[in-house]
C-alpha cells in the first residue's frame, strides 16, 4: 500500500473517531453490536445536517420564485415502483467470495493482475495416507498422480486400478515389491474407497506477483475444509497457471474466487395491512423523486404555476446496499435532496420563440431565457449547484464527470456527476440529469391518468404556423428519432400524433433533475474541514490540535460564549447575559470550565467559527471606553477584536447566515 493510501486511511480513521467522540455521528444500535450501513447523528451531527438541509431548501425554494416544496410519504403504492422500473431493474450486480462468503458489488471491485491457480477438487488426507501405507509409499506420489483425469472420468474399478498401477505403483515399487505387496482385489477395494472420498468442486485463486504458489494451495485447503473435508489435499488442474490482467473475478482482499455476478434488487420490502401476503407488499422508497412525479399534476393544478417550474423535496430513502462502505458515504438509510425542474420540450420552445438557444462555452447562465431548451437548462443547473457548494465551503474540491453516451440510460439526454475529494478517493456528491419526459410519460402510461399540461402561449404560436412549417417540425423530429443509438425510435404515427397534441398546446413536460445526498454532503464538509495543526502550549510542549474549518453558514455551533474566569460572579453574569442575547438567533455554546485556551481548542475541534470572551475589560476595569465590550475571536485566523455587546448580534448574523 502506498504512503498516500495509508495517509488517507489514517485521515479517515481520525475523522470517524472525532465524529463519535464529539457527538457528530454514532453507529446505529451500537450497544447491540451495530446495524450494518446505518448511522445515527448525535447533537452536533443533527445540527450540521439541519444547517445543510436549510441551506439547500432556502437556496432551491425560498430564494426562488419558480420552485415549490413537497413532503411526500415514504410508503407509496407499489405500482409507482413498477412504473418507474425499480421493481424490474433497480439492481446492483453482486458477487460472493467462495471462501469467506463476503459480498461485493461486482462493478466496484478494483481490477487486479496476477496468476490464476485452478483446483478441481480435494480428497481427505486420511484417504491418501491409508492408500499410501498399504504399499509402503509416502503420500507424495499419490498426490502427484491425482489430477484432471482422475476427476474427469467415471472409471470402472479395472480402469482405476490400471491407471493407479501405471501412474504410481510401477513408478515407485520394484518388480519384487510389486509382486509381494500388491493384491489386485485388495488394491481395487482400497482405490474404490479412496476414489469415492474425492470432493469435486472447482475453485481458483489469484496470486499477485511475488507471492508463492503455496499460498494458493493453502487458500484452496481452507476452501475445501470449509466444505467439510477433513485435512483436505487440493487437486490441482493440469493447466499451467494463467497470468491475467484487469480481472474482477477474485476477492481483492484474499484472492479467492468470486461467484458470477447476479442481479440484486436494492429495494427494501415491507407489508401494508395485517395479513402480510404478497398482495400487501410495498417498498421503502429508494429515492424521493418518484413521489414528485406522482404528485406533479396535483402540485401544478393547486399552485397556479406555469412551466418551467420545479418541485423540491428532502426526505429519507432506503437501499439494501450490497456493500455499504466508507463510513456514511454509502448507507442503507440516507437522506436525499432532490429537485425535479420541469421544462418545455425543445419543439415547444422553438414554436414559441422561433429558435432554441444553443449552448456554447461562456454562455450567459445568470438568468433563464424564454428560448432555453434542455441543454441550456441543464447547464444552468450545473452552474447553480456549483455555486451552492462554493457557498458551503466545498468549491475547491469539486470535479465533474460528464457521462458519455455509453454511460447514459436510453432515455437520458445528458448527465453530469459533481465529484468531491474524500480521504478514500474522488466520489460522486450529486448528479444532474436531463431525463427528457421519460418519468412523467411512464406514470401517465401505467396510471392511465393524463399528466399533460396545457400551454396557451404554445397553442397561439402553433396556430400561426403554415402546414409546411408544421410538417418541417415533424420531419426534424423524425430525423432525430431515426438517428437514435439507444432505445427504440418512436414510430412515425406516434410522432405525428404527438405533434397533433403539441400544436393544440398540450405536452408532457421534460425534466432536469439535480439529485444530492445529504449524508454525503455532511461527510464531504467534515472531511474538507478537518485539519490538524501542531502548536506549543505555554510550557513549550508541542501538541497536535484538531480544527474543523467548517463554513460559518453550516457550523453546528456558531458562537462559543466564555467568561474568562468562572469564580468571578460579575463575569459569569455578564457572560450569561450575552449568551441569552445570542441564543435566540443562533446556536451557541456556553462554557466556563478549564483555561480559556483549552475552551477555544474544544470549540475549534467541533467547527465553531467564533468565540466571545467576557473579561475584566467588559466590566470596565480598564476604563469606560471598554465597558460592555467583549473579545470576539475568529477561529480560522486567530484574530481577536473588541466589539460592543450592543453591536455583537449585528456583526455576527451576516457572518453565520
pLDDT tens digits, 526-573: 999 999 998 877 677 888 999 999 999 999 999 999 999 999 999 999
> What pLDDT does residue 263 have?
87
Q: Where are the domains of the chain?
A: 3-90+269-455+505-520, 111-247, 557-656
Dist CA 215 CA 226 (whole Å) = 17
Confidence of residue 174 (pLDDT cuts 50, 70, 90): confident
> What pLDDT does residue 144 have?
67
pTM: 0.83
User: ∠ CA 136-140-145 to the nearest 5 degrees?
Assistant: 105
> What pLDDT does residue 146 have?
66
Tell the CATH superfamily of the 3-90+269-455+505-520 domain: Bira Bifunctional Protein; Domain 2 (3.30.930.10)
Q: Return the CATH number of the domain spanning residue range 557-656.
A: 3.40.50.800
Confidence of residue 206 (pLDDT cuts 50, 70, 90): very high
- Residue 345 grid cell: 420540450
Dist CA 310 CA 380 (whole Å) = 14
Lowest-confidence segment of 30-39, 111-120, 233-242, 369-378 by average pLDDT:
233-242
Is the predicted pLDDT of residue 455 greater than 60, yes or no?
yes
Summarize pLDDT for 410-454 with one digit per residue, the tens: 889 999 999 999 999 999 999 999 999 999 999 999 999 999 999
Confidence of residue 279 (pLDDT cuts 50, 70, 90): confident
Mean pLDDT across the stretch 172-196?
A: 75
Mean pLDDT across the stretch 634-638?
A: 94
Mean pLDDT across the stretch 107-121?
A: 92
Greater confidence (21 vs 88) lies with 21
* Residue entry with cell 403539441: 502
* Contact call for residues 170 and 163 (beta carbons, < 8 A): no
Is the predicted pLDDT of residue 120 greater than 60, yes or no?
yes
Mean pLDDT across the stretch 4-31?
A: 92
- Residue 290 grid cell: 418518484
Mean pLDDT across the stretch 242-259?
A: 94
Is the predicted pLDDT of residue 163 greater than 90, yes or no?
no
455 by DSSP, 3-state: which? Answer: coil
Q: Across the strands, what pairs with 611?
A: 560, 633
Mean per-residue pLDDT over the chain, rounded: 91
Is the predicted pLDDT of residue 103 greater than 80, yes or no?
yes
Fold: same for 3-90+269-455+505-520 and 557-656: no
Distances from the Cα of 203 to the Cα of 223, 390, 433, angstroms: 8, 51, 43
- Residue 268 grid cell: 427494501
Distances from the Cα of 650 to the Cα of 296, 610, 617, 657, angstroms: 42, 14, 21, 12
Confidence of residue 100 (pLDDT cuts 50, 70, 90): very high
Lowest-confidence segment of 90-94, 190-194, 317-321, 558-562 by average pLDDT:
190-194
What is the distance in angstroms between the CA of the first residue and the CA of the last residue of the chain? Answer: 43
* Contact call for residues 616 and 574 (beta carbons, < 8 A): no
Is the predicted pLDDT of residue 574 greater than 60, yes or no?
yes
Lowest-confidence segment of 19-33, 178-192, 313-327 by average pLDDT:
178-192
Is the predicted pLDDT of residue 182 greater than 90, yes or no?
no
Preceding omega of 613 cis (within 30 degrees of 0)? no
Is the predicted pLDDT of residue 614 greater than 90, yes or no?
yes
Lowest-confidence segment of 161-175, 206-220, 269-283, 563-577 by average pLDDT:
161-175
- CA 643 and chain centroid, separation: 45
**In 518-587, at which residue ranges do the beta strands (DSSP E only) sit?**
530-536, 542-548, 559-563
Amino acid at each position: 500500500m502506498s504512503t498516500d493510501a495509508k495517509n488517507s486511511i489514517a485521515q479517515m480513521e481520525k475523522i470517524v473517531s472525532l465524529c463519535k467522540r464529539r457527538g457528530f455521528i454514532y453507529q446505529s444500535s451500537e450497544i447491540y453490536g451495530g446495524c450494518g450501513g446505518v448511522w445515527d447523528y448525535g447533537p452536533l451531527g443533527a445540527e450540521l445536517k439541519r444547517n445543510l438541509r436549510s441551506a439547500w431548501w432556502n437556496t432551491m425554494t425560498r430564494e426562488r420564485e419558480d420552485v415549490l416544496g413537497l413532503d411526500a410519504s415514504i410508503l407509496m403504492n407499489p405500482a409507482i415502483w413498477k412504473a418507474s422500473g425499480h421493481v424490474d431493474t433497480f439492481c446492483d450486480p453482486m458477487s460472493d467470495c467462495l471462501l469467506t462468503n463476503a459480498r461485493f458489488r461486482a462493478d466496484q471491485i478494483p481490477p487486479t493482475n496476477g496468476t490464476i491457480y485452478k483446483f478441481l477438487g480435494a480428497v481427505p488426507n486420511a484417504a491418501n495416507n491409508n492408500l499410501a501405507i498399504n504399499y509402503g509409499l509416502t503420500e507424495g506420489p499419490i498426490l502427484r498422480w491425482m489430477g484432471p483425469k482422475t476427476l474427469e472420468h467415471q472409471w470402472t474399478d479395472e480402469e482405476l486400478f490400471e491407471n493407479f498401477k501405471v501412474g504410481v505403483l510401477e513408478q515407485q515399487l520394484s518388480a519384487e515389491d510389486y509382486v509381494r505387496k500388491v493384491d489386485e482385489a485388495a488394491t481395487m477395494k482400497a482405490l474404490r474407497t479412496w476414489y469415492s472420498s474425492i470432493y469435486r468442486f472447482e475453485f481458483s485463486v489469484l496470486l499477485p506477483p511475488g507471492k508463492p504458489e503455496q499460498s494458493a494451495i493453502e487458500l484452496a485447503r481452507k476452501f475445501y475444509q470449509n466444505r467439510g473435508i477433513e485435512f483436505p489435499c487440493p487437486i490441482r488442474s493440469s493447466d499451467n497457471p494463467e497470468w491475467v490482467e484487469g480481472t474482477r473475478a477474485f476477492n481483492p482482499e484474499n484472492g479467492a474466487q468470486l461467484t458470477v455476478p447476479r442481479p440484486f434488487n436494492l429495494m427494501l420490502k415491507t407489508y401494508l395491512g395485517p395479513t402480510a401476503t404478497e398482495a400487501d407488499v410495498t417498498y421503502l422508497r429508494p429515492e424521493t423523486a418518484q413521489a414528485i412525479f406522482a404528485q406533479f399534476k396535483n402540485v401544478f393544478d393547486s399552485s397556479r404555476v406555469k412551466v418551467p417550474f420545479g418541485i423540491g423535496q428532502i426526505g429519507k430513502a432506503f437501499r439494501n446496499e450490497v456493500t455499504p462502505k466508507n463510513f456514511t458515504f454509502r448507507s442503507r438509510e440516507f437522506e436525499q435532496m432532490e429537485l425535479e425542474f420541469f421544462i418545455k420540450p425543445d419543439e415547444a420552445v422553438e414554436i414559441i420563440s422561433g429558435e432554441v438557444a444553443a449552448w456554447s462555452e461562456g454562455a450567459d447562465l445568470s438568468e433563464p431565457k424564454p428560448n432555453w431548451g434542455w441543454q441550456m437548462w441543464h447547464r444552468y443547473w450545473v452552474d447553480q449547484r456549483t455555486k451552492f457548494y462554493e457557498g458551503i465551503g466545498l468549491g475547491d474540491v469539486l470535479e465533474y464527470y460528464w457521462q458519455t453516451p455509453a454511460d447514459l440510460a436510453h432515455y437520458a439526454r445528458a448527465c453530469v456527476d459533481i465529484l468531491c475529494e474524500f480521504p478514500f478517493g474522488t466520489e460522486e456528491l450529486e448528479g444532474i440529469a436531463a431525463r427528457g419526459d421519460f418519468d412523467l410519460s411512464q406514470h401517465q402510461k401505467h396510471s392511465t391518468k393524463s399528466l399533460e399540461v396545457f400551454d396557451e402561449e404554445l397553442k397561439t404560436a402553433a396556430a400561426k404556423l403554415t402546414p409546411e412549417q408544421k410538417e418541417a417540425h415533424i420531419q426534424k423530429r423524425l430525423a432525430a428519432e431515426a438517428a437514435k443509438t439507444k432505445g427504440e425510435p418512436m414510430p412515425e404515427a406516434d410522432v405525428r400524433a404527438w405533434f397533433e397534441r403539441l400544436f393544440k398546446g398540450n405536452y408532457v413536460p421534460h425534466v432536469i433533475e439535480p439529485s444530492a445526498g445529504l449524508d454525503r454532503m455532511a461527510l464531504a464538509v467534515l472531511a474538507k474541514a478537518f485539519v490538524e495543526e501542531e502548536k506549543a502550549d505555554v510550557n513549550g510542549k508541542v501538541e497536535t490540535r484538531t480544527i474543523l474549518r467548517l463554513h460559518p453558514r453550516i457550523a453546528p455551533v456558531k458562537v462559543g460564549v466564555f467568561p474568562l474566569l468562572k469564580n468571578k460572579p460579575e463575569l459569569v453574569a455578564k457572560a450569561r447575559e450575552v449568551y441569552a442575547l445570542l441564543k435566540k438567533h443562533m446556536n451557541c455554546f456556553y462554557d466556563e470550565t478549564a483555561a480559556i485556551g483549552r475552551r477555544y481548542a474544544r470549540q475549534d475541534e467541533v467547527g465553531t467559527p467564533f468565540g466571545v470572551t467576557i473579561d475584566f475589560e467588559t466590566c470596565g476595569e480598564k476604563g469606560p471606553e471598554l465597558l460592555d465590550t467583549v473579545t470576539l475571536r475568529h477561529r480560522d485566523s486567530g484574530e481577536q477584536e473588541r466589539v460592543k455587546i450592543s453591536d455583537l448580534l449585528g456583526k455576527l448574523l451576516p457572518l453565520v447566515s
